[in-house]
Amino acid sequence: MEEEKEINNVKKVNKDKEEKIKEVKVKEVKEKNKLPKDKIIIIIFIVLSLIAVVTFIVLDRTGLIKNNKASNEGTNITLKHTATNDNYSEGIYMTDVSDVVEEVMPSIVAITSKTLVSSGTFGPSFFNQNQYSEGAGSGIIVGKSDTELMILTNNHVVEGAEELTVKFIDDKSVDATIKGTSERKDMAIIAVKLSDIDSSTLENIKIATIGDSSKLKVGQGIIAIGNALGYGQSVTTGVVSAIDREVTTDNYTNKMIQIDAAINGGNSGGALLNAKGEVVGINSLKYSSGATSTSASVEGMGFAIPISDVSDLIEDLINGKEAEEGATLGVEGYMTTSMYTGSNLPTGFYISGITSNSGADKAGLEIGNIITAIDGTEVEKFSDLSNVIYDKKKGDKVTLKIAYVKGREYKEKEVEAVLS
């Protein structure tokens, strides 16, 4: 029995050893297969990265990810706009201007002028042959005294008119008279007696707000209102195409605002507005086909007088002061470059007429002389001559370089003239 018990104990010991050996081997296998923590982290990162890449590709192909780059496949890019009127007027193209127009329209009038074009009688007085032409223009209400309403317009709208009629926003018409004009600046103030205006009309009209044209920028949105072709007030919009554009009309050169808003006959004297509804210019003229030497048609070239350039003049005219038209040399003529292309005439201003007792007359200038320079400035275009003179006052002296014919050729001399 003792032997059998000992044998059993030996077997049990051996069995315990075998189980411990198995546990050790299993543990060694587990330890061998176990990865370090840093390697596990790297593997997790790689797996997550692969998942992210695959997800991005799938979303991109399905169009769920928006591309910020501009494309030609219908991607809409929304621009950030400011909501204030100040920034709006700095150059954003205007679409809906109805509120501005509604506010300003009571300040705009239509002007009809009647000018005598011929006169004569045949037989009895009832066969009077006087013939009149009617013209259409526009005006801006800019002031009011105790007895009169003051309206700003262009001089060429009212020049030579024997009768003037103003139509207000309520379509009621009243006679007007010329209070003051400036031919040089193409400005005029006409007046309507307050006593001639119905009380209901007085309630409907208002005085326009004057803006600052010096703050205009190229590309800025503008509004033009006027009595186009005499059909009544019409509204067009556009942008400032250029500023300080030199334009010569009736031998006067002025700096103007170029606009692309449509203006036509009858718009003259009307208002050019900024987005705030302030008057920044007076619509005055447009270039049309045939008005230039080019054969191409002309579109979108209108011009307005900058309001800030004439604000002092307007106040003078309103207050009955005579406009200071500046000094004159007293000559008429044309540029040789435009009238004698291809000839051997010197470049300059060809004198075709001289005013009696003018500075030119007293300086001994003659018809046929050519002014090639003034105060050291070569006269290559009319504005070279006119701009120097316009900056002078009556009694100022100018030095002229004159080309004159001697024998069969032109000679040059300098002449001093006193402006009148």
Residue 320 lies in a domain: no
- Provide the CATH number for the domain around residue 378: 2.30.42.10
In a shared domain, residues 349 and 276: no
Domain housing 364: 331-418
Provide the pLDDT for residue 295.
Answer: 40
In a shared domain, residues 108 and 158: yes
Provide the pLDDT for residue 105.
Answer: 95
Residue 119 lies in a domain: yes
**CA separation for the pair 184, 354 (Å, rounded):** 19
- Catalytic residue numbers? 156, 186, 268
Provide the pLDDT for residue 96.
Answer: 87
In a shared domain, residues 222 and 200: no
SS3 call for 23: helix
Provide the pLDDT for residue 247.
Answer: 81
Residue 314 lies in a domain: no
Domain boundary among 139, 170, 204: 204
> How would DSSP label each residue in 43-104?
HHHHHHHHHHHHHHHHHHHTT-SPP-S--SSS---PPP---SHHHHTTTPPPS--HHHHHHH
Residue 75 lies in a domain: no
Provide the pLDDT for residue 40.
Answer: 63
In a shared domain, residues 169 and 217: no
Total domains in the chain come to: 4
- Provide the CATH number for the domain around residue 246: 2.40.10.10
In a shared domain, residues 346 and 283: no
Among candidate residues 170, 168, 175, 182, the one with its CA nearest the CA of residue 138: 168
Residue 220 lies in a domain: yes
Mean pLDDT, 10 residues at a time, over the chain (420 residues)? 55 56 51 55 69 55 38 33 40 75 95 79 56 88 94 93 94 95 92 96 95 95 90 90 83 84 88 95 77 50 93 91 80 76 79 91 94 94 84 89 91 93
pTM comes to 0.64
Provide the pLDDT for residue 362.
Answer: 94
Residue 176 lies in a domain: yes
Provide the pLDDT for residue 187.
Answer: 94
In a shared domain, residues 350 and 263: no
